[in-house]
Amino acid sequence: MRIAVLVSGSGTILEAILDAGITVDVVVSDRPCRGLGVASDAGIDAVLVDRSHFGGFGPDFDREAYTEALSEALVERSIDLVAMAGFGTVLGTAIHERFAGRILNTHPALLPAFPGWHGVEDALAAGVSVTGCTVHVATLEMDAGPILAQTEVPVLADDTAESLHERIKAVERRIYPATIAAAADALADGRDIESLIPKYKEATQ
């Protein structure tokens, strides 16, 4: 299986994926960032598909044209599985058509609770005693795809968004690489990634 990882920041999730022994064939970023350096240092094809060439980060951003360009970069490299790792751009239709059911993402909450960009802050604001990390299949609707893995993280009385997020990240760096590996094995065996869902349900019952 040829795996692509999409990054936008420090690349710590990418480092966890590599530390788990997963072979990554290309790393793609939407902006210059440390994650591309992590890829280059590891001898991995590092590709910048820069948002600044598609209208940047404001209202002029051409999401569909950007998504088409990124998708082409993945198709050209014969990618089988896409793993978003702190990727900061919501992608449009093209990638979900070309890689339907083969895009993974991770979210710092127990979906379907607290979707969106502020899952940690929203959990704190709601006063919940437990939140966590979710790995799911990415779909066109943000944070709404089938859940593949979840792990709970307790919310402590003195937690800030930063302290809680750090504990969630520690869990994320463990369950995300494991789920990526399981998804790659499923595809290699001719199974859909969603075949992993029964295992997730059994583990949480």
Residues with a known catalytic role: 107
Q: Which residues contact 9 (CB under 8 A, 6 or more apart)?
A: 33, 34, 35, 86, 88
> Are 92 and 64 a contacting pair, CB within 8 Å?
yes
CA 98 distance to own-chain centroid: 17
Pairing of strands 130-137, 147-154: antiparallel
Classify the C-alpha dihedral 186-188-189-190 as positive or negative: positive
